[in-house]
Amino acid sequence: MPSWVTQGYDEYARRMPSDMSLELCEITPGQRGKGRDVARAMQKEGDAMLAAIAPSDYVVALEVLGKSWSTEQLSEQMEGWRMNGRDVALLVGGPEGLDARCVARADVKWSLSSLTLPHPMVRLLVSEQIYRAWSIICNHPYHRAG
């Protein structure tokens, strides 16, 4: 990832409280390119994602066909996740999307946009929106809309 993405993600993760921490778990992407089997790459990524998820985790798959939430709706979702008491795993797929098994494992599907977004932007956008939603939950002045 470019340094600006890492710095931005780290900044929002640092701001999160310990009871709602943000932790990044990166998997090695499957090999792509000329003569490579894309389905095999997606399967490898899916294997790694599913291995990283605990059976008790609440899984949110980032999917273009998922539910679109406003920041306020995300804060409501996060408050529900916190009250549920389970760890939440957010799954972001590779260039072709998530392996079908990861989508099937998801408790909910979340769409950031109907636009195709590059992975660096997704990482930064998700971390900022999680922090912003937390600021709504806590009446922190970071979120001033509305």
**125 labelled ligand-binding:** no
Report the C-alpha gap between 132 and 130 in whole angstroms: 5
Sheet with 88-91: strands ordered across: 88-91, 58-68, 108-111
- Sign (positive/negative) of CA torsion 26, 118, 113, 122? positive
Which two tokens mark 6?
Answer: 């890492």
Which helix (H) or strand (E) element contains residue 65?
A: strand 58-68
**116 labelled ligand-binding:** yes
**113 labelled ligand-binding:** yes
Report the C-alpha gap between 80 and 52 in whole angstroms: 23
**65 labelled ligand-binding:** no
Tell me the three-class secondary structure of 36-50, residue by residue: CCHHHHHHHHHHHHH
**146 labelled ligand-binding:** no
**3 labelled ligand-binding:** no
Chain-centroid distance, C-alpha 112 = 10
**85 labelled ligand-binding:** no
**115 labelled ligand-binding:** yes
Residues at the annotated binding site for S-adenosyl-L-methionine? 62, 93, 112-117
Residues at the annotated binding site? 62, 93, 112-117
